[in-house]
Structure formats: structure tokens, C-alpha cells
Amino acid sequence: MGAPGLVLLWLQLCALTPAAYKVWVPNTNFDDATNWSQNRPPCAGAAVEFPADKTLSVLVREGHSISDMLLPLDGEFVLASGAGFGAADAGSRPDCGPGARARFLDPDRFLWLDPRLWRPGDAGRGLFSVDAERVPCRHDDVVFPADASFRVGLGPGAGTVRVRSVQALGQTFARDEDLTAFLASRAGRLRFHGPGALSVDLEACADPSGCVCGNAEAQPWICAALLQPLGGGCPQAACLEPLRPEGQCCDLCGAVVSLTHGPAFDLQQYRARLLHAFLALPQYQGLQVAVSKVPRPPGLREASDAKADTEIQVVLVEAGPETGGAGRLARALLADIAEHGEALGILSATARESGAPVWGGSAAGLNAPARAGLAGGLAAAGLLVLTALLAGALLLRREGRLRWRRRDEAAPARAGAPLGFHNPVFYAADSAEALPAPKSDQRSSSRSYFLNPLFGEAEAEA
């Protein structure tokens, strides 16, 4: 098949199977303030210095007057219409002191595997992605904006990055041979570097239930890049017993609903149902949801005796200060599945919630010195109360106003008297169909639920 036939095939696949796409965010533009050491473009009369040992492409949109310029080892200036450089005396502006030097920041600081450097091209309101899926997935189209210069590092350690297509410099690379030739050219070397490799494959995700992202092997490097500004460690979650969904680098507060499905399940339709039938309701404003197909943990597979090696993961988090909404929505989803699961192609569902929120401190602080101090105070108070009661009891007995009664002398219980009490308050889901209350575990404030719509019953387990 010739090149025209391949292009036609690619267009047909795009029309039949709309793929998600990710857009590269940072740039190496001369006029972008974030690329300069003083967090502003060089002022008139400034001395400009690029890293001497770097290679890069720089887009210049405006005219600039500078006193001198130290160029990089290899690179290019791409001049937009009306852009250019002119000579000016050093320090011609009052806010540019004599000898002021504007340094262009390291262009190699931008890594492909950094989730902060990508944005989804088709994100709807209320939707987000777990960290591993914020980086382009196996079936994603990748877009580098044509109106910006860029430089991206491939690797380290993740091997070959595979995506569906790459769009750069106004060209779409859908064949591996074309992309390889571009990466080997001077234009490609100015924009891509590092030990990793980049590959494209037109294979589309043809499964209506969705496809696994494929970034599991790269997740350690994805998390390392994400957490590098924090010193490599995760921040403390603002709740007790937080959750860590599949593909997420750190713990979070909220709820996770896991679905097993049959051949009739459609991921896009279910995502749309969540947005329009649930997140649009006033009681769920401020919640965000991530819906994707993920590998099913082997332990869960064995415990549930399910043959499927994947499941649909629905992650619910609260974007605002309110708490409890994610858990309420998770229970509402279980009730919805109990009623409509068969029509949706859902076979079973489980839900997990994080524990109570931590106010005014971290969970670690609440678990250690604060509890120790509280326990010590309660113990001291209890000892004082016990001492006072014993002293009072002895005094009353001595005065004859208190009589001790042996166990066998105690009045017998009334026949038929209840030994406990009935609590009429049961937990009900926010939807029309109520679910039974979860079993309580005194050691944990988090809860998990299991629902099988084929039997119409829900079970809760600690």
C-alpha cells in the first residue's frame, strides 16, 4: 500500500474510532517569562545568555533590543513576522541595572514522563485522570502546538514510548518510519533528546469498554518526575485511611468504585452518564471523577473468582473543602447499578471510601502525640473520679446510708425485658433505591461495599 493509501486508512480510523489526545504544555519561546531566570523576558539593553552546552530551538515573536548575546552550543531562532533583534546600550532602561544579564533556563528540564507538562485535549468539566494516564497513553494522539517551539526529554528508564500518532511542526507522523526519520533529522534533534525512544502505531482501541492506558511500567518514573519538586515524597493526605487508586502516585481522599463488566458495556456512554445524570446534580457539585479501564489486581481476581484481568475504575474526589460527597456519590452509583446494571452491561461493583477528614493537622500528627496526650489526660481524670467514688462509698456505708447487695440478692430481670435496643435509623443511598448499611469496624473509619446486580443485593465489608 502506498503513502496515499496509508493516509486514507489513517483518516478512516480516526473517523471510526475517535482517540483521546494529549497536548504538550511547556515551550522554549523567547517571549515566555517562565523561560528566564528573572521570570521575565530580557529588557532593553540586557545581556542575554543561553546555556552554552545545550541544543534547542527558540521561537521569537517580538522585537528585542539587547547589548550582547551568548549563544548555545547548537540551536536555531525561529522568527515570527515582525520579530528580530537590535543593538542597544547596556542598561538603557532604569529597571535594567548595568551589566544585567538575562539567563535562559535549562531547556532539558522538560520530560515526556512528567504529568504536569501535559493537558488532555478533550477534558470535560468534572473529569480528571489518574497520574499515570495524564501522560500520553498507548492509544493517544500527541500534539505539539505549531505556534510554539519546544524541547522534550525521552526517558529515563522507560524504554520505548508508544503512542498512536505524533503531531509536530505542522506534520502528523502516523508511521514509525516517518517518525524515525524526523527524530534523526536536525529539526528532530533540536526538539527531542534523551536515552528513550518514541514509536507510533495506528492500532486503535476498538473495544467499546475501553483499553488499558499501558503506562504501568513507566509509572515509577512518572511518579518520580511528578514528585521531584516535593523532594520525592508524597504530601500527607487530609484524611484517615486514604485510598491509592490504580495509576495514582499518592494517596487521596474520596471513594473508588470498581466495576466488572460484560460485552455490552460502553465506557464512553457510562462516562457521559456520570457527567449528566450525577455530577450535574447540585449535591455533587465540586466533585471530580476519573473513569478508565485498569489492570485488575491479582489478589482481587482470586478472591472474587473472576476471570477478567481488567476492570473499570471510577475515582471520586472532592475539589473543594466539603467532605462526604464522594462517599455519597459512590453509594448512589451502587444503587444505580443495582437498578440499571444489566442494561449498562455491568456485572458487579465494589466501592471503597477513605476515612474521616483530618482537621487542623495531618493524620500522622493525630495518630501520635495528640492521641497520647488525650489518653493521658483521660486516664488521670478517670483515676481521680474513681478515688472520689470509693471514698464517698466508704463514708456512706459507715454512716448507714448505703447498703451493699450481693449478686444473688439482686432483683431478677423482668420477664421479656429487652437486653438491647432497636435503632430505626438505616443508611439509605441518595438514589431512589436504598442500600443496606455497611458493617461497622471499630478499627477503621473507611468502608467498602460489594454489589452484584444479578442478585439485586448489596453486601458491606470492613
For the residues of 29-49, what is the DSSP string, one character each?
A: -TT-GGGBTTSSPPPTTEEEE
Question: Which pLDDT score is estimated for 364?
Answer: 36
Contact call for residues 321 and 286 (beta carbons, < 8 A) = no
Cα–Cα distance measured from residue 246 to residue 216, given in angstroms and rounded to the nearest whole number? 9
Which residue bears the cell 452491561? 345
What would the mean pLDDT of 161-179 be, rounded to a whole number? Answer: 96
Residue 298: pLDDT band by 50, 70, 90 thresholds? confident
Pick from 459, 450, 129: nearest CA to 294: 129
Question: Would you place residue 163 in the very low, low, confident or very high pLDDT band (cuts 50, 70, 90)?
Answer: very high
The top-scoring range by mean pLDDT among 69-73, 251-255, 439-443 is 251-255
Residue 15 confidence class, pLDDT cut points 50, 70, 90: very low
DSSP assignment of 328-369: HHHHHHHHHHHHHHHHHTEEEEEEEE---B--SS-HHHHHTH
d(Cα 360, Cα 238) in Å, to the nearest integer?
9
Higher pLDDT, 429 or 232: 232
Confidence of residue 441 (pLDDT cuts 50, 70, 90): very low
For residue 369, pLDDT over 80 is answered with: no
The pLDDT confidence band at residue 230, using thresholds 50, 70 and 90, is very high
Residue 245 pLDDT > 50: yes
CA–CA gap between residue 85 and residue 80 (Å, rounded): 12
Residue 331 pLDDT: 97
pLDDT digits (tens, 9 = 90+) for 98-136: 557 899 999 999 999 999 999 998 777 889 999 999 999
Q: Which domains are seen in the chain, by residue range?
A: 16-83+103-233 (no CATH), 236-298+307-356 (3.30.70)
More confident residue, 95 or 222: 222
Average pLDDT over residues 218-226: 96
Rounded mean pLDDT, 275-281: 95
pLDDT band for 324, please (50, 70, 90 cuts): confident
pLDDT bin (cut points 50, 70, 90) of residue 399 is very low
pLDDT recorded at residue 417: 36
pLDDT score of 239 more than 70: yes
306: confidence class by pLDDT, cuts 50, 70, 90: low
pLDDT at 161 over 90: yes
CA distance 81 to 165: 30
CB 211 within 8 A of CB 310: no
Give CA–CA dist 462/458, Å, rounded. 14
pLDDT of residue 431: 36
Query: Is 181 or 415 the better-scoring residue by pLDDT?
Result: 181
Residue 429 near residue 435 (C-beta atoms within 8 A): yes
Nearest to 164 by CA among 179, 145, 151, 181: 179
pLDDT surpasses 80 at 303: no
* Secondary structure (3-state) at 180: helix
The pTM (predicted TM-score) of the whole model is: 0.74
Q: Are 448 and 351 in contact (CB under 8 A)?
A: yes
Q: What is the separation of C-alpha 258 from the centre of its chain, rounded to a whole number of angstroms?
A: 16
The answer to whether the CB of 280 falls within 8 A of the CB of 320 is no
Task: Give the separation between CA 334 and CA 328, rounded to whole angstroms.
Answer: 10
At 389, is the pLDDT very low, low, confident or very high (cuts 50, 70, 90)?
Answer: low
End-to-end Cα separation, the chain, in angstroms: 59
Nearest to 177 by CA among 206, 199, 152, 209: 199
- Over 90: is that where the pLDDT of 412 sits? no
The per-residue pLDDT for 99 is 56
Q: What is the pLDDT of residue 297?
A: 81
Instruction: List, in order, residues 6 or more apart from 28 with CB less than 8 Å away.
Output: 35, 56, 57, 58, 59, 107, 148, 149, 150, 151
Q: Is the pLDDT of residue 188 over 70?
A: yes
Q: What are phi and psi of 100, to 5 degrees?
A: -60, 135
Single-letter residue type at 370 = A
Q: What angle, rounded to 10 degrees, do the helices at 325-344 and 267-274 form?
A: 140
Q: Which helix (H) or strand (E) holds 254?
A: strand 254-261
Distance CA 49, CA 63 (A): 17
Mean pLDDT for all residues in the chain: 78
